[in-house]
Structure 1
Amino acid sequence: MCQDGVMLATQRHERILAGLRDHGAVRIADLTQDLGVSDMTVRRDLAELAEQGLLRKVHGGAVSPQATSHEPGFEAKSTIALAEKRAIARAAVRLVSPGSSIALSAGTTTHLLAVEIAADQRLRPLTVVTNSLPVADALHRAGDPRLETVLTGGSRTPSDALVGPLTEAALASLRVDQTFLGAHGVSVEAGLTTPNLDEAATNRVLVAIAGQTVVLADRSKWHTTGLSVFARLDQVDVLVTDDALPAQDQEAARDAVERLVVAPANQTHSPLPDDTQDGRTSR
């Protein structure tokens, strides 16, 4: 590791700003490796550049001054489109098979899926890996030894996710049959996005370790773009949304993903009609 002199600090600042120009955001974890300096040095560099108005510090890194990176807390998000999220969770639980291993990302819809899993005795035995504190709590409350919950370590975000290098390393050593992901934003152009850089990095690992990727996104997530992209839509095997999503958006989703499931939000426990579950031909 190089000594942190004045010239080296200038070079580091140039590299950081170049990363912002190229990608719109930089992560502290990535910068420590790329620059060969300590976490403390990177944080000091970001603070100096922020004072000059050249970037804006966010959880886990920095963004361009103009970037939008607001991240609502778990409680605030849990009240948005609640009926639609419950319908999506009821549809998604039908995709889970007993005896399998699955991963649930952080998010209010994945939390509702965890509640459905905890209540469904038919889904036993089952192993669930998660980086979400509310998800782990919901599964733990089932009090069923046949429902094994694996909670990663890491740093806590406003959405009650555990993220960071420790989380990513723990997940990277695993392999699961399915990953169920929430998203802050969904669009055909940008893909799946989140405002939190570290959460995006964790979600990328969750996609990488899964045999099948399932995304849970209600209509309020569409045409919203967060700061960091963690997956393209063509990486999604199953997309579960609600029937309030406009027809043109449903058609665009069918063209982009392997399979689309449209959950009827105005019905409590009715079966899903077959034609709501058709996407492109499966891989």
Structure 2
Amino acid sequence: MLASQRRSRILEEVQRSGAVRVSALVEHLGVSDMTIRRDLEVLAQEGRLQKVHGGAVLPGGPSIEEPGFAAKSGRQNPEKQAIAAEALRLVEPGMAIGLSGGTTTWTFARLLRDVADITVVTNSVQVADLFSGEPRTDQTVVLTGGIRTPSEALVGPFAVSAIRSVNLDLMFMGVHGMDLRSGFTTPNLVEAETDRAFVETSRRFVVLADHTKYGVLGISTIAGIDAADVLITDSGLAEEHRIVLRERVGELVVVDAGPGTGDEAEEPPA
């Protein structure tokens, strides 16, 4: 295969899934690790993808670009499953839990369905649908009202009013990006206000964010990095980034998204 053909195949994979790993490309294309890294370097220089630790992602879009739920659902699934499994360790029966919109929190919500005696407050239509499919008498699910965003989150004054009327033990939030200067961000100005209400009404604020979110910047800040009581991410995050985050967040938890992380998991809805 010619280099140009190989690079076209790499771009097709990045565009299909949003991200690729060097190890997966080596196996898929049957070439060396060094060859793949050279290809990624060339494509990055051309502005056709962005190199990250261990692979590549789509080039960073504008800070107001908001991918839909379906577009994000195929990205970093092993990482999301590992993060969700770790987040479940924080939950105990009797808790009131907040869940923001997004595919990472949706993955986490799948596991919460097996926890007895909890109340879940969410502005995510997709999360609420998960619980409605298997109703339990020992679980209470509260879906805020509001205006629906491309990520299937309900936002705006109705959502904010509902959130501010409750007190949460734990708030689990997925974010569009995290940056040391700008904090945890979203590309949706109205969603940022709704998310801030969640942070303000919770005793502990837990961020669920895979490594590709580091360095990504949305137009609006939800909270500063140091506002997170716990940040759960995956081992794809570079060590130098882990060092600075450990100094800023209450607790940094890094999980391994290796084989056996849950490939049998159901697919997020389109």
TM range (shorter): 0.7 to 0.9
Counterpart selection for 1:239 from 222, 231, 235: 231
Per the alignment, in what secondary structure is the counterpart of residue 240 of structure 1? strand
- Please report how far the alpha carbon of residue 269 of structure 1 lies from its aligned counterpart in structure 2 after TM superposition: 6.0
1:141-220 equivalent positions in 2, closer than 5 A? 141-220=133-212
- Please report how far the alpha carbon of residue 184 of structure 1 lies from its aligned counterpart in structure 2 after TM superposition: 0.2
- Matched with 1:221 is 213
CA distance in 2 between counterparts of 1:144 and 1:264 reads 32
Are residues 1:96 and 2:103 paired?
no
CA distance in 1 between counterparts of 2:239 and 2:63 reads 29
1:186–1:193 contact (8 Å) kept in structure 2: yes
CA distance in 1 between counterparts of 2:107 and 2:205 reads 18
Q: Deviations over 1:38-79 (max 9, x none)?
A: xxxxxxxxxxxxxxxxxxxxxxxxxxxxx6311000000111
CA distance in 1 between counterparts of 2:193 and 2:172 reads 15
Counterpart selection for 1:116 from 84, 108, 111: 111
Runs of 4+ in 1 over 4 A off after TM superposition: none
- Matched with 1:74 is 69
1:128–1:149 contact (8 Å) kept in structure 2: yes
CA distance in 1 between counterparts of 2:260 and 2:232 reads 16
Choose 1 or 2 for highest CA Rg.
Answer: 1
Per the alignment, in what secondary structure is the counterpart of residue 144 of structure 1? coil
**What fraction of aligned residue pairs are identical, expressed as a percent?**
45
Task: Tell me the TM-score normalized by structure 1.
Answer: 0.69
2:177–2:213 contact (8 Å) kept in structure 1: yes
Unaligned runs of 5+ in 1: 1-66, 271-283
Counterpart selection for 2:254 from 255, 258, 262: 262
The count of aligned residue pairs is: 201
Q: Deviations over 1:260-282 (max 9, x none)?
A: 11111004369xxxxxxxxxxxx
Task: Tell me the TM-score normalized by structure 2.
Answer: 0.72
CA distance in 1 between counterparts of 2:259 and 2:201 reads 34
Per the alignment, in what secondary structure is the counterpart of residue 247 of structure 2? helix
- Please report how far the alpha carbon of residue 108 of structure 1 lies from its aligned counterpart in structure 2 after TM superposition: 0.5
2:131–2:141 contact (8 Å) kept in structure 1: yes
Match of 1:209, as an amino acid?
T
CA distance in 1 between counterparts of 2:260 and 2:242 reads 21
- Matched with 2:49 is none
CA distance in 2 between counterparts of 1:68 and 1:124 reads 39
- Please report how far the alpha carbon of residue 244 of structure 1 lies from its aligned counterpart in structure 2 after TM superposition: 1.0
Unaligned runs of 5+ in 2: 1-61, 263-270
CA distance in 2 between counterparts of 1:237 and 1:262 reads 14
Q: Deviations over 1:83-106 (max 9, x none)?
A: 111110111111111111010000
2:78–2:261 contact (8 Å) kept in structure 1: no
- Please report how far the alpha carbon of residue 189 of structure 1 lies from its aligned counterpart in structure 2 after TM superposition: 1.4
- Please report how far the alpha carbon of residue 142 of structure 1 lies from its aligned counterpart in structure 2 after TM superposition: 2.7
- Please report how far the alpha carbon of residue 188 of structure 1 lies from its aligned counterpart in structure 2 after TM superposition: 1.3
